[in-house]
Amino acid sequence: MKKSDQRGSEGGEENSPLSFRGQVPPLRVLILEDEPTDFELVVRALCREGFVPAVLRVETESDFRRQLRDFCPDVILADYSLPEYDGLSAMELAHAEFPQVPFLFVSGSLGEGTAIEALKHGAADFVPKQRLDQLGPSVRRALAVAAEQKGRRQAEEALRQSEERLREAVADGQRLSLELQAALAEIESLGGLVPPGPAGQRPPDRQSCYE
């Protein structure tokens, strides 16, 4: 754990995620945190909740920006204040590029007023570092909300596609109707159709009527 954490904090080496193998797909967690000890406590809290996390710690804007795209997290946990970056800026960046990924603050320096403001700007939740027992349930709720929103978006997209297909079918029907009307009008302009006589026979011509 410490080895991977140290690689993530050194500027010249690539960050490497820590994973905890289990029977379910790991939860990919990007953690913006400058304190290795706090990072370990956060990971333990996730494991206690039953998650199988693949975690990656970053602490600078450049690392966060890169791993946001490369690591493709399922959830983001961030401290509010760091020496070289801040949680609000990270949340704005995450929401701009991946608005479907839940973003939670895990901080010991966030007052109630600031926490409320963060929630108004789109944070899924705020968990004090002194209450990490709340972290697991908060992450679970945030993931459930994200899954519900994803399902709603998929249903809306399916409805949109269905409506588009219906509009295309109606347009095709109208086009065929116009083509049929044009064809009948052309036939009528050429003299129309000669109606058949009884039993499908043509009527006798005029000369036969006087015989």
Return d(Cα 26, Cα 10) in angstroms, integer: 25
- Give the dihedral of Cα atoms 175, 180, 182, 186; nearest 10 deg: 160
Note whether 33 and 78 are within 8 A (CB). yes
- The rounded distance, in Å, linking the Cα atoms of 124 and 132 is 16
Q: What is the pLDDT along the chain (211 residues), one digit of tens a residue?
A: 443 443 333 333 345 555 555 455 789 999 999 999 999 999 999 999 999 899 999 999 999 999 999 999 999 999 998 999 999 999 999 999 999 999 999 988 777 788 888 888 889 999 999 999 999 999 999 999 988 876 766 666 666 777 777 777 777 778 888 888 888 888 887 765 555 555 555 555 555 444 5
CA 11 centroid distance within chain: 31
pLDDT at 12: 36
Helices (H) and strands (E) in the chain, counts: 7, 6
The CATH classification number of 2-155 equals 3.40.50.2300
**Residue 70 and residue 50: Cα distance in Å, rounded?**
25
Q: Tokens 């269905």 sit at which residue? A: 162
Q: Does the reported pTM lie above 0.75?
A: no
Looking at this protein, which amino acid is placed at residue 96? Answer: A
Q: How far is CA 190 from CA 183, 186, 198, 202, in A?
A: 11, 6, 24, 19
Retrieve residue 29's tokens.
């967690």
Q: What are phi and psi of 37, to 5 degrees?
A: -65, -45
pLDDT at 75 (0 to 100): 97
Per-residue pLDDT, 2: 41
Q: What is the pLDDT of residue 187?
A: 82
pLDDT of residue 108: 84
AA letter at 203: P
Which pLDDT score, from 0 to 100, does residue 121 have?
85
